Protein backbone atom coordinates (compact mmCIF):
# COMPACT_ATOMS: atom_id res chain seq x y z
CA UNK A 1 0.00 0.00 0.00
CA UNK A 2 1.34 3.36 -1.00
CA UNK A 3 1.44 5.46 2.17
CA UNK A 4 3.44 8.52 2.95
CA UNK A 5 5.72 7.18 5.65
CA UNK A 6 7.20 10.45 6.85
CA UNK A 7 3.98 12.44 7.30
CA UNK A 8 5.35 14.33 10.29
CA UNK A 9 3.34 16.99 12.08
CA UNK A 10 5.97 19.71 11.87
CA UNK A 11 5.15 23.37 11.38
CA UNK A 12 6.91 24.96 8.42
CA UNK A 13 6.93 28.57 7.28
CA UNK A 14 4.88 29.42 4.20
CA UNK A 15 6.98 30.25 1.15
CA UNK A 16 5.59 32.81 -1.26
CA UNK A 17 5.29 31.44 -4.77
CA UNK A 18 5.80 33.07 -8.11
CA UNK A 19 2.87 33.73 -10.36
CA UNK A 20 2.98 31.10 -13.06
CA UNK A 21 0.47 29.11 -15.05
CA UNK A 22 -1.54 26.47 -13.17
CA UNK A 23 -3.87 23.81 -14.46
CA UNK A 24 -6.57 25.00 -12.07
CA UNK A 25 -6.39 28.48 -13.62
CA UNK A 26 -6.28 26.98 -17.09
CA UNK A 27 -9.54 25.13 -16.51
CA UNK A 28 -11.19 28.54 -16.42
CA UNK A 29 -9.43 29.75 -19.56
CA UNK A 30 -9.36 27.67 -22.76
CA UNK A 31 -6.40 29.60 -24.15
CA UNK A 32 -4.30 28.74 -21.10
CA UNK A 33 -5.56 25.17 -21.19
CA UNK A 34 -4.13 24.73 -24.68
CA UNK A 35 -0.76 26.05 -23.55
CA UNK A 36 -0.29 23.34 -20.92
CA UNK A 37 -2.02 20.64 -22.98
CA UNK A 38 -4.26 19.14 -20.31
CA UNK A 39 -5.68 15.87 -21.55
CA UNK A 40 -8.95 14.14 -20.74
CA UNK A 41 -8.86 10.66 -19.23
CA UNK A 42 -7.63 8.11 -21.75
CA UNK A 43 -10.52 6.04 -23.16
CA UNK A 44 -10.44 2.44 -21.97
CA UNK A 45 -10.10 1.20 -25.54
CA UNK A 46 -6.82 3.11 -25.84
CA UNK A 47 -5.24 1.74 -22.66
CA UNK A 48 -2.51 -0.68 -23.82
CA UNK A 49 -3.16 -4.35 -23.16
CA UNK A 50 0.07 -4.71 -21.18
CA UNK A 51 -1.09 -2.01 -18.77
CA UNK A 52 -4.51 -3.63 -18.32
CA UNK A 53 -2.77 -6.95 -17.69
CA UNK A 54 -0.50 -5.39 -15.05
CA UNK A 55 -3.35 -3.67 -13.20
CA UNK A 56 -5.47 -6.83 -13.27
CA UNK A 57 -2.60 -9.19 -12.43
CA UNK A 58 -3.55 -11.89 -9.91
CA UNK A 59 -0.13 -11.37 -8.34
CA UNK A 60 -1.10 -7.94 -6.98
CA UNK A 61 -2.20 -7.90 -3.32
CA UNK A 62 -5.90 -7.38 -2.64
CA UNK A 63 -5.11 -4.33 -0.51
CA UNK A 64 -3.35 -2.76 -3.50
CA UNK A 65 -6.29 -3.41 -5.80
CA UNK A 66 -8.63 -1.88 -3.23
CA UNK A 67 -6.92 1.47 -3.88
CA UNK A 68 -7.24 1.29 -7.65
CA UNK A 69 -10.67 2.89 -7.95
CA UNK A 70 -9.43 6.12 -6.42
CA UNK A 71 -5.92 6.09 -7.89
CA UNK A 72 -6.72 4.89 -11.44
CA UNK A 73 -3.37 3.19 -12.09
CA UNK A 74 -4.21 2.39 -15.71
CA UNK A 75 -4.60 6.12 -16.39
CA UNK A 76 -1.36 6.98 -14.60
CA UNK A 77 0.73 4.33 -16.34
CA UNK A 78 -0.68 5.10 -19.80
CA UNK A 79 -0.38 8.87 -19.38
CA UNK A 80 3.28 8.62 -18.39
CA UNK A 81 3.90 6.22 -21.26
CA UNK A 82 5.26 3.29 -19.26
CA UNK A 83 6.04 0.37 -21.59
CA UNK A 84 7.64 -3.07 -21.53
CA UNK A 85 11.44 -3.02 -21.52
CA UNK A 86 11.77 0.43 -19.93
CA UNK A 87 14.25 1.40 -17.22
CA UNK A 88 12.31 3.41 -14.62
CA UNK A 89 12.48 4.62 -11.02
CA UNK A 90 9.94 5.05 -8.22
CA UNK A 91 11.13 7.77 -5.85
CA UNK A 92 9.87 7.63 -2.24
CA UNK A 93 8.29 4.26 -2.96
CA UNK A 94 6.68 3.79 0.46
CA UNK A 95 5.13 0.33 0.64
CA UNK A 96 5.64 -0.24 -3.09
CA UNK A 97 2.17 0.12 -4.66
CA UNK A 98 3.60 2.02 -7.62
CA UNK A 99 6.79 -0.05 -7.74
CA UNK A 100 4.90 -3.30 -8.29
CA UNK A 101 2.76 -1.81 -11.04
CA UNK A 102 5.87 -0.52 -12.80
CA UNK A 103 7.50 -3.92 -12.41
CA UNK A 104 4.55 -5.69 -14.00
CA UNK A 105 4.47 -3.30 -16.97
CA UNK A 106 8.20 -3.10 -17.80
CA UNK A 107 8.46 -6.86 -17.55
CA UNK A 108 11.53 -9.13 -17.58
CA UNK A 109 13.41 -6.97 -20.08
CA UNK A 110 12.90 -3.82 -18.05
CA UNK A 111 14.09 -2.66 -14.65
CA UNK A 112 12.61 -0.65 -11.77
CA UNK A 113 14.70 1.23 -9.20
CA UNK A 114 12.57 1.47 -6.06
CA UNK A 115 13.94 4.14 -3.70
CA UNK A 116 13.23 4.69 -0.01
CA UNK A 117 15.29 6.05 2.86
CA UNK A 118 17.58 3.49 4.57
CA UNK A 119 15.83 3.55 7.95
CA UNK A 120 12.15 4.26 8.48
CA UNK A 121 10.96 5.89 11.71
CA UNK A 122 9.73 3.23 14.13
CA UNK A 123 6.06 4.16 13.65
CA UNK A 124 6.39 3.36 9.93
CA UNK A 125 8.35 0.13 10.27
CA UNK A 126 5.39 -1.89 9.00
CA UNK A 127 5.60 -0.01 5.69
CA UNK A 128 9.34 -0.67 5.50
CA UNK A 129 8.75 -4.38 6.10
CA UNK A 130 6.06 -4.41 3.43
CA UNK A 131 8.38 -2.71 0.92
CA UNK A 132 11.26 -5.14 1.57
CA UNK A 133 9.00 -8.18 1.32
CA UNK A 134 7.37 -6.93 -1.86
CA UNK A 135 10.47 -6.05 -3.86
CA UNK A 136 12.27 -9.26 -2.90
CA UNK A 137 9.54 -11.03 -4.83
CA UNK A 138 10.02 -8.89 -7.94
CA UNK A 139 13.16 -9.96 -9.83
CA UNK A 140 13.26 -6.89 -12.09
CA UNK A 141 13.25 -4.45 -9.16
CA UNK A 142 16.41 -2.98 -7.62
CA UNK A 143 16.10 -1.98 -3.96
CA UNK A 144 17.56 1.50 -3.47
CA UNK A 145 17.87 2.38 0.22
CA UNK A 146 19.33 5.85 -0.15
CA UNK A 147 18.81 9.05 1.84
CA UNK A 148 17.61 12.06 -0.12
CA UNK A 149 20.80 13.97 0.64
CA UNK A 150 23.03 11.22 -0.78
CA UNK A 151 25.59 12.28 -3.41
CA UNK A 152 23.87 9.82 -5.76
CA UNK A 153 20.17 9.23 -5.21
CA UNK A 154 19.95 6.45 -7.82
CA UNK A 155 22.64 3.91 -8.80
CA UNK A 156 22.29 4.56 -12.52
CA UNK A 157 24.40 6.05 -15.29
CA UNK A 158 23.54 9.49 -16.65
CA UNK A 159 20.98 9.51 -19.46
CA UNK A 160 19.89 5.93 -18.74
CA UNK A 161 16.31 6.06 -17.40
CA UNK A 162 13.14 6.29 -19.47
CA UNK A 163 10.91 7.57 -16.65
CA UNK A 164 10.98 8.58 -12.99
CA UNK A 165 7.77 8.83 -10.94
CA UNK A 166 6.90 10.38 -7.59
CA UNK A 167 3.39 9.36 -6.62
CA UNK A 168 1.74 11.57 -3.98
CA UNK A 169 4.95 12.31 -2.08
CA UNK A 170 6.38 15.46 -3.62
CA UNK A 171 4.46 17.51 -1.05
CA UNK A 172 6.24 15.59 1.75
CA UNK A 173 9.62 16.39 0.19
CA UNK A 174 8.65 20.05 0.33
CA UNK A 175 7.20 19.86 3.84
CA UNK A 176 10.34 18.22 5.17
CA UNK A 177 12.43 20.88 3.44
CA UNK A 178 14.47 18.39 1.49
CA UNK A 179 16.80 19.84 -1.13
CA UNK A 180 14.47 19.43 -4.08
CA UNK A 181 16.74 21.41 -6.40
CA UNK A 182 19.42 18.77 -5.85
CA UNK A 183 16.95 15.87 -6.09
CA UNK A 184 15.36 17.21 -9.26
CA UNK A 185 18.77 17.81 -10.81
CA UNK A 186 19.83 14.24 -10.05
CA UNK A 187 16.63 12.97 -11.65
CA UNK A 188 17.25 15.22 -14.66
CA UNK A 189 20.75 13.78 -15.03
CA UNK A 190 19.54 10.18 -14.73
CA UNK A 191 16.85 10.51 -17.40
CA UNK A 192 17.48 10.06 -21.09
CA UNK A 193 16.82 13.07 -23.31
CA UNK A 194 13.08 12.90 -23.88
CA UNK A 195 12.64 10.97 -20.62
CA UNK A 196 9.55 11.49 -18.45
CA UNK A 197 9.43 12.90 -14.92
CA UNK A 198 5.93 12.12 -13.65
CA UNK A 199 4.35 13.76 -10.61
CA UNK A 200 1.01 12.93 -8.99
CA UNK A 201 -0.04 14.85 -5.90
CA UNK A 202 -2.92 16.25 -3.89
CA UNK A 203 -4.04 19.73 -4.97
CA UNK A 204 -3.96 22.60 -2.51
CA UNK A 205 -5.79 25.85 -3.12
CA UNK A 206 -4.38 27.98 -5.91
CA UNK A 207 -1.81 30.46 -4.62
CA UNK A 208 -1.17 28.57 -1.35
CA UNK A 209 2.38 27.52 -2.25
CA UNK A 210 3.73 25.07 0.34
CA UNK A 211 1.37 26.20 3.12
CA UNK A 212 -0.54 22.92 3.45
CA UNK A 213 2.23 20.37 2.91
CA UNK A 214 2.52 19.27 6.55
CA UNK A 215 -1.06 19.88 7.67
CA UNK A 216 -3.48 18.87 4.91
CA UNK A 217 -0.75 17.04 2.94
CA UNK A 218 -1.53 19.04 -0.18
CA UNK A 219 0.55 21.31 -2.40
CA UNK A 220 -0.16 24.10 -4.87
CA UNK A 221 0.23 22.79 -8.41
CA UNK A 222 1.86 26.05 -9.53
CA UNK A 223 4.51 25.67 -6.86
CA UNK A 224 5.46 22.23 -8.16
CA UNK A 225 5.53 23.29 -11.82
CA UNK A 226 7.71 26.30 -11.13
CA UNK A 227 10.12 24.36 -8.94
CA UNK A 228 10.60 21.44 -11.31
CA UNK A 229 10.98 23.58 -14.41
CA UNK A 230 13.84 25.42 -12.67
CA UNK A 231 15.82 22.17 -12.97
CA UNK A 232 15.54 22.20 -16.74
CA UNK A 233 12.40 20.11 -17.23
CA UNK A 234 9.57 21.24 -19.48
CA UNK A 235 5.94 20.61 -18.61
CA UNK A 236 4.62 18.54 -21.53
CA UNK A 237 1.10 17.66 -20.42
CA UNK A 238 -1.34 17.35 -17.55
CA UNK A 239 -4.09 14.76 -17.16
CA UNK A 240 -7.52 15.45 -15.72
CA UNK A 241 -8.02 11.76 -14.85
CA UNK A 242 -7.67 12.35 -11.09
CA UNK A 243 -9.53 15.65 -10.90
CA UNK A 244 -12.32 16.06 -8.34
CA UNK A 245 -13.84 19.51 -8.85
CA UNK A 246 -16.10 18.97 -5.84
CA UNK A 247 -13.02 19.00 -3.58
CA UNK A 248 -12.60 22.48 -2.07
CA UNK A 249 -9.01 21.54 -1.07
CA UNK A 250 -9.44 22.50 2.58
CA UNK A 251 -9.45 19.06 4.23
CA UNK A 252 -6.88 16.48 5.31
CA UNK A 253 -6.25 14.04 2.45
CA UNK A 254 -6.60 10.90 4.60
CA UNK A 255 -10.11 11.94 5.61
CA UNK A 256 -11.53 10.69 2.31
CA UNK A 257 -8.85 8.67 0.55
CA UNK A 258 -9.11 8.53 -3.21
CA UNK A 259 -11.45 11.53 -3.36
CA UNK A 260 -9.00 14.43 -3.36
CA UNK A 261 -8.44 16.59 -6.40
CA UNK A 262 -5.06 15.47 -7.70
CA UNK A 263 -2.88 16.85 -10.46
CA UNK A 264 -0.95 14.52 -12.75
CA UNK A 265 1.93 16.29 -14.47
CA UNK A 266 4.23 14.96 -17.17
CA UNK A 267 7.57 16.77 -17.44
CA UNK A 268 10.08 16.00 -20.18
CA UNK A 269 13.85 16.28 -20.22
CA UNK A 270 14.47 18.24 -23.44
CA UNK A 271 16.27 16.43 -26.24
In this predicted model, what pLDDT tens digit does every residue of 206-262 receive, in sequence order? 999 999 999 999 999 999 999 999 999 999 999 999 999 999 999 999 999 999 999
pLDDT in tens, 103-121: 999 999 999 999 999 999 9
Non-local (6+) Cβ contacts of 129 within 8 A are none
pTM score, two decimals? Answer: 0.87
CB 26 within 8 A of CB 38: yes
Question: What CATH number has the domain spanning 23-239+253-268?
Answer: 3.40.50.150
Alpha-carbon separation of residue 251 from 85, 178, 257 (angstroms)? 40, 24, 11
3-state secondary structure of 80: coil
CB 93 within 8 A of CB 114: yes
Give the chain's radius of gyration (CA, Å): 17
pLDDT along the chain (271 residues), means of 10: 39 33 43 61 98 98 97 98 98 98 98 96 93 96 97 97 98 97 98 98 98 98 97 97 98 95 98 94
d(CA 94, CA 168): 10
d(CA 202, CA 217): 7
Mean pLDDT of the chain: 89
Amino acid sequence: MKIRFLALAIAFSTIAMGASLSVADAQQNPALMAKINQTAPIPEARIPAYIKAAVNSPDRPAEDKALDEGRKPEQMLAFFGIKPGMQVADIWAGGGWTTELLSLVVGPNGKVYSQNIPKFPAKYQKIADQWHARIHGLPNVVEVATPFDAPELLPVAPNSLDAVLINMNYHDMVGLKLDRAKINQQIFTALKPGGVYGIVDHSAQAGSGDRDTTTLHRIDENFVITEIEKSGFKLAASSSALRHPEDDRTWFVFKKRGQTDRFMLKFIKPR
